[in-house]
Structure 1
């Protein structure tokens, strides 16, 4: 795979930080690119205040060296914070927005790297953030499966700067369990949905959910816990959901399974993760003669676009922006604590809310 400009910039910054200064020609050889490319990269990085240029060579900024090599944000004197996120769209757009707001309020500079849900790239992306001068890190690893932490996560326990995990809960007792973290309590979110549907007179709802992200896995686990807490029996096995645009055949299988569960009379309510899948599901069910909410009361999970459906969807809304805000505030507080290591670590769980709309048949709350 061809190296991106951002990845090359990260490597260039790391080389200069390690050496203190370097000639452009030497950097070209180390990076395996032309001197013209390096000069262009250096100009871009110098404009951002990440490097100093001096007669054919570059050096680590004097402002960063004076601050102990941390690269404080120009003019503000505040800390530089690095944020690693698996995506800048959908769910994590709000997390990033909250982090940016809190960083600005604290006089800090926020640097962003995106992993595109490739957990094998998380470490390299984080090294890039450190090379850019990050003094503390907000990390939402690109984990998708249950084994990704063990395969790609142990390095985070050895980070040289304070770090806060966002929307990720490591395995209990693992090295990463000692890190600060701020997460949405998805189990509580599922309980809100199940309790709401049962309160409307339905039996235990059917769960239609993905299995390709930590949120999806937490929703599945929360479903089992919610049924147990409310003394309910699972009406059908969980129906695995996949995006319609990625695998139309498997999506159709899921739709037909929901249709059969409703037509047979055994199911009158469902919880669907996520919003986009729920909208596609409702549209396809209507084509098959199953109406929401008349035949099936439905609650979506995520509340990104649920309100925009033809029949606005009741949805569980994780506090995404607040996760970013609280994580950033915690990190800034960590950076300002001297001596470090004396304050206890924190695991902060933020509670989702249920936004009631037309799809569950209850009508919107006043």
Structure 2
């Protein structure tokens, strides 16, 4: 084995990082990723399972669910599956949502329940159509929903959801504290505001006092990010005026001109770091900076929000990673708990904290003497 291969502790930390990212991992894929034998990976999985950090499954591992039973002697009887079917409607089946769906499926498999998935769009009429398909078939006992709660008709949509014939939990969505429905709607989502605070405080700790924010136009996440931005800037006594609401990904018409305008404003405001939502927009800005001869992070530090593909940037990009797979898992666990306990269980509204993944785009390397 070559000397540069990861030691056991580093290898297991990398294994857990992949598991948190995807919700489930396969021995074969990990062996290839870590450049070790499948036997070594199986030993690592066994060691981590013994500490309760993951659950061994055939050919790989999953994150443990909150409802997992404590480890017991070998050959223990398998728990009787809970005979529930849960419907799930998400606004997209690409970018961001696959990780949430994967987490939900992992939890469902571990709890012995069925998951019926429906893809929708960011449109209330289509949301209603897909939700109605599930409820009218009479095959689901609960619903996990991510409806469009922007624009006109939101109050009517919430009222309609609150009167559905089966329990409902919102996923990566939330209502106001009080809703005029027969039961207060439950929800689970990433704490995006805190995720933004993590990014601002990280840049502040590395000496940045003039930071800019680029928010993806039209994203439901933007309101939470703006809230966290204002809170962090206020507490750290930083100027908060530099906020741009534009989509600048490579597939956006005129993105180069928009980025050029943003960077002109950065020079005028002496901005030394940008937080960008989301990865495609951050990578587009990084690419433009490189073309113009800017050094990252020396001339401009960058932090992305989402961490879907930020590691593929050049340089690899520091990013805030919402706990997407965990959100999906917790949503299923909450629903099963609701279905098992019924009205005895108090309503829950859960925020799950994101992580800050440090890479080369935000931390200057120490120069060799």
TM-score (norm 2): 0.72
8 Å contact from structure 1 (residues 98, 324) kept in 2: yes
Q: Which has the larger radius of gyration?
A: 1
Change in 2 beyond 3 A, CA 1:275/1:317: same
- Alignment correspondent of 1:334: 338
For residues 332-362 of structure 1, the C-alpha deviation after alignment (integer angstroms, 9 at most, x for no partner) is 011111xx32321011100001000000024
- Alignment correspondent of 1:167: 172
Change in 2 beyond 3 A, CA 1:342/1:259: same
Among 221, 228, 237, the alignment partner of 1:231 is 237
For residues 162-191 of structure 1, the C-alpha deviation after alignment (integer angstroms, 9 at most, x for no partner) is 111110021332347921111100010000
- Alignment correspondent of 2:328: 324
8 Å contact from structure 1 (residues 80, 108) kept in 2: yes
8 Å contact from structure 1 (residues 235, 266) kept in 2: no
- CA drift of 1:285 comes to 2.2
- CA drift of 1:263 comes to 3.1
How many equivalent residue pairs? 285
8 Å contact from structure 1 (residues 208, 273) kept in 2: yes
For residues 7-50 of structure 1, the C-alpha deviation after alignment (integer angstroms, 9 at most, x for no partner) is xxxxxxxxxxxxxxxxxxxxxxxxxxxxxxxxxxxxxxxxxxxx
- Alignment correspondent of 1:58: none
8 Å contact from structure 1 (residues 184, 319) kept in 2: yes
Change in 2 beyond 3 A, CA 1:77/1:265: closer
- Alignment correspondent of 1:300: 304
8 Å contact from structure 2 (residues 121, 127) kept in 1: no
8 Å contact from structure 1 (residues 78, 106) kept in 2: no
- CA drift of 1:246 comes to 5.1
Indicate the SS of the match to 1:126: helix
- Aligned counterparts, 1:1-366, within 5 A: 78-132=83-137, 133-143=139-149, 145-147=150-152, 149-150=154-155, 152-175=157-180, 178-236=184-242, 238-245=243-250, 247-249=252-254, 251-264=255-268, 266-337=270-341, 340-362=342-364
8 Å contact from structure 2 (residues 250, 280) kept in 1: no
Indicate the SS of the match to 1:248: coil
For residues 194-213 of structure 1, the C-alpha deviation after alignment (integer angstroms, 9 at most, x for no partner) is 00000000014100011312
Change in 2 beyond 3 A, CA 1:209/1:261: same
- CA drift of 1:363 comes to 5.9
For residues 126-171 of structure 1, the C-alpha deviation after alignment (integer angstroms, 9 at most, x for no partner) is 111123411101111134x354633643311101111111100213
Unaligned 5+ runs, structure 1: 1-74
Indicate the SS of the match to 2:286: helix
Unaligned 5+ runs, structure 2: 1-79
TM-score (norm 1): 0.73
For residues 106-136 of structure 1, the C-alpha deviation after alignment (integer angstroms, 9 at most, x for no partner) is 1101000111222221111111112341110
Which portions of structure 1, spanning 4 or more consecutive aligned residues, are displaced by more than 4 angstroms? Answer: none
- CA drift of 1:293 comes to 1.1
8 Å contact from structure 2 (residues 249, 280) kept in 1: no
